[in-house]
Amino acid sequence: MRIAIIGFGAAAIGFIERIKNTKHEIHIFEKSKDIYSSSISGIRADGKLFVSNEMGGNIDVDMDLQKQLVNYYIDKTEDKKYEKGSSFAKKEYYNKFYEKGFQPIHSDFYHIGTDQLKKVLYSIYEDFKNLKNIHFHFEAPILDIEPIANTVILNNKDSFDMVVVAVGRSGHKLVKNVIGKFPELITDNTQVDLGIRYELPDHIVEELNREMYEFKVKYKSKTGYMVRTFCNNPSGFVVTENYDDFVTVNGHSKLKEKSKNTNFAILTTVQLTQPFNDPIGFGSHIAKLTNLLAGENKVILQTYNNFKSSKRTKHLYRVFPTLEKDKYILGDINLAYPRRIAESIIDFIENLNEVVPGVANDDNLLYAPEIKFYSNRLHNDHFDNLKFIGDCSGATRSIIYATAHGWMMAEKIIKI
Ligand SMILES: Cc1cc2nc3c(=O)[nH]c(=O)nc-3n(C[C@H](O)[C@H](O)[C@H](O)COP(=O)(O)OP(=O)(O)OC[C@H]3O[C@@H](n4cnc5c(N)ncnc54)[C@H](O)[C@@H]3O)c2cc1C
């Protein structure tokens, strides 16, 4: 078959790796200029690879396959160096959190680090591009997909026997275009995770960082909302993330360069019901309002004490931001965030402080907006020759799950 894959991210990598030694002719269309400017969002940003059946997406991925894919990425690093951890492997920690109402999440993870990722992506590309049946097309954004009988037409010109869409979350415009034409593809779209990025001195969470590197917990707050930690970065850095028309915060850490602070996201899962059907709109409006208060392309920074009492922060005390100075303004997040979200976050931090004293210190820092968008969950059996893999399908949210989704889709196609 002549197969087109749109996007060269984690899901595409899994797909191509599984299908590369078959007779299928594979064409990859990537909107980035070349491999150097190509961005597998997570792989470029931090590269924490998780092995878990409790997080990463809404599909079942065999643990052996997850581990195999982790090894695949590690093999592509220059010197095979990485940091490793296991969250809640020790019963003692599990019990400590459980006792205070938290749901600890089990996972193993392998941190490659932002600095090594360029090389990983490049060597994967080199490996694929030397194969006769694999054809890369850079600077080739796909704007339109038209399934017609046994073929699928891309951008009104190229036709393929099968098209696999792997555009991640950054490809939401293309997915929106497709579901505009075929709304029956959507199975679910009601969720958005809205919260803040929290930053505090390493020594407060030193023991947890040492023990498990990334601690992941969920907590049912007094507001009824589920709150969770996400993306912990020991000795890391806070960064901004640019979307088309707003800016959010994120965090990352490097293998070599270290700061003195740890940052992690505290996210509230907002699951709204009918007639609501636009979680991306909900999250974007709050992000834009936060940016409006902070000034163009900036985020709001506030101390925990001021956040609790809804006062604008004017001075910092012992904790200083790792985010570059021209990217934030000291302010009051409460002016942009719904009360129920702010209360959920405070309830979470106060309770976490019971397990990890110092987490609720007055001078710890909050950055907003931190938002995790979920793509619409799409049907993959509606068309025989048009499939969606990775984050754009709504089924995955991590590098390993997206890669595995691609791998499993290729396996199905090989069997056809
Ligand atoms: C800042 C950040 C940090 C993250 N850190 C981690 C982490 O440490 N660990 C982890 O497990 N997960 C992490 N994630 C999540 C992880 O990156 C994703 O779950 C994963 O990359 C999804 O893979 P994907 O193939 O679906 O999409 P992506 O990896 O995003 O790849 C999509 C590709 O499609 C291309 N594309 C988009 N639209 C088009 C179009 N119209 N035409 C052609 N090409 C197009 C894009 O340029 C991109 O190359 C992070 C995400 C972000 C945003």
Q: Whose CA is nearest to atom 42 of ligand 1?
A: 141
Which atom of ligand 1 is the closest one to the Cα of 46?
8
Q: What is the pLDDT of residue 200?
A: 98
Average pLDDT for residues 65-73, to the nearest whole number? 96
Q: How far is the CA of 416 from the centre of ligand 1 (A)?
A: 28
- The span from the CA of 365 to the CA of 227, in Å, is 18
The DSSP result for 278-347, as a single string, is -HHHHHHHHHHHHHHHH-TT-EEEEEHHHHHHT-------S----S-GGGEEE--GGGTS-HHHHHHHHH
Q: What is the pLDDT of residues 390-406, one digit of tens each?
A: 999 999 989 999 999 99
pLDDT for position 142: 97
Structure tokens at 294: 């902070």
Is pLDDT above 60 for 17? Answer: yes
The confidence score (pLDDT) of residue 132 equals 96
- Give 90 Cα–ligand 1 centroid separation in angstroms: 32
pLDDT value for 85:
84
Better-scored residue on pLDDT, 382 or 278: 382
The answer to whether the CB of 107 falls within 8 A of the CB of 51 is yes
- Looking at per-residue pLDDT, the higher value among 84 and 136 belongs to 136
**Residue 246 — pLDDT band, cuts 50, 70, 90?**
very high
Q: How far, in Å, are 147, 254, 264, 329, 363 from residue 238 at the CA level?
A: 42, 12, 9, 14, 17
Largest CA distance in the chain: 65
State the pLDDT at residue 112: 85
Q: What percent of the chain has pLDDT over 90?
A: 74
User: Which pLDDT band holds residue 71 (cuts at 50, 70, 90)?
Assistant: very high
Q: Residue holding tokens 């709150």?
A: 227
Nearest residue (CA) to ligand 1, atom 30: 168
pLDDT of the residue at 292: 97
C-alpha 13 to ligand 1 mean position (Å): 11
Taking residues 201-226, report their average pLDDT.
92
- Tell me which of 179 and 213 has the higher pLDDT: 179
pLDDT in the model for residue 279: 81
Tell me the CA–centroid distance for residue 351 and ligand 1, in Å. Answer: 33
End-to-end Cα, the chain, rounded Å: 10
List the one residue out of 59, 75, 57 whose CA is nearest residue 67.
Answer: 75
Q: Is the pLDDT of residue 45 over 80?
A: no
**What does the pLDDT read at residue 62?**
96
**CA proximity to 122, closest of 165, 166, 77:** 77
**Ligand 1 residue neighbourhood (C-beta within 6 Å):** 6-12, 29-32, 38-42, 45-48, 50, 141-142, 166-168, 170-171, 174, 241, 250, 390-392, 396-400, 402
What tokens does 333 get?
């997040």
Q: 306 or 415: which carries more pLDDT confidence?
A: 306
Please identify, in words, the CATH class of the domain defined by 2-77+112-188+377-415. Answer: alpha beta
What global pTM score does this model have? 0.82
Residue of the CA atom closest to atom 5 of ligand 1: 42
What are the C-alpha distances in Å from 107 to residues 82, 164, 410? 16, 29, 26
Q: Is the pLDDT of residue 44 over 60?
A: no
Q: Pick left, alpha or beta for residue 139 (phi over 0 → left; psi -120 to 50 → alpha; otherwise beta).
A: left
- Ligand 1 centre and the CA of 50: distance in Å? 15
Tell the residue nearest (CA) to atom 14 of ligand 1.
Answer: 42
Q: Is 274 exposed, middle or buried (0-12, 13-18, 19+ CB in 10 A)?
A: exposed
Is the Cβ–Cβ distance between 155 and 143 less than 8 Å?
Answer: yes
Is the predicted pLDDT of residue 42 greater than 60, yes or no?
A: no
Tell me what the mean pLDDT of segment 309-334 comes to.
98
Q: List the domain boundaries for the chain.
A: 2-77+112-188+377-415, 191-373
